[in-house]
Amino acid sequence: MNKVKKLDKNATQDFKNIVNNIKNEIKTTQIKVAIEANKNLINLYFRIGKILNDNFKYGNKFIDDVSREIKLEFPNIEGFSVRNLKYMKKFYLEYKDNEVVQRVVAQLPWRQII
């Protein structure tokens, strides 16, 4: 027969503190991951905006064609509509000459940027 050792009051509190510390570490890391992912996504949008701007010589339907090709290659990904690609181009044009602002803006959610 297995006997379960009952924890005394101090051990119970220590256990709760340990678990709370682990929970806080998880939450902190989740926030850091979300912030880093957002920063990388904003930087991606900036780079796409540059590519769209640098290649707009291909005509008025260029962005439409790019959007369609992205949707074909990545059918389950959102955020690359014609309208959003135009926002990316505008975003690039707005901040291309200011590296400090680019770094600060990369901390903001995309919806606030557009």
Q: Using one digit for the tens of pLDDT, what is the confidence trace for 67-112?
A: 999 999 999 999 999 999 999 999 999 988 877 566 667 777 777 6
**Cα gap 67→105, rounded to integer Å:** 24
* Residue 15: CB atoms within 10 Å: 11
Residues near 93 by beta carbon (within 8 Å), at least 6 away in sequence: 49, 53
Bigger pLDDT: 28 or 39?
Answer: 28
Host H or E run for residue 9: helix 9-54
Quote the pTM value.
Answer: 0.74
- Average pLDDT of the chain is 87
Token pair for 98: 């200011």
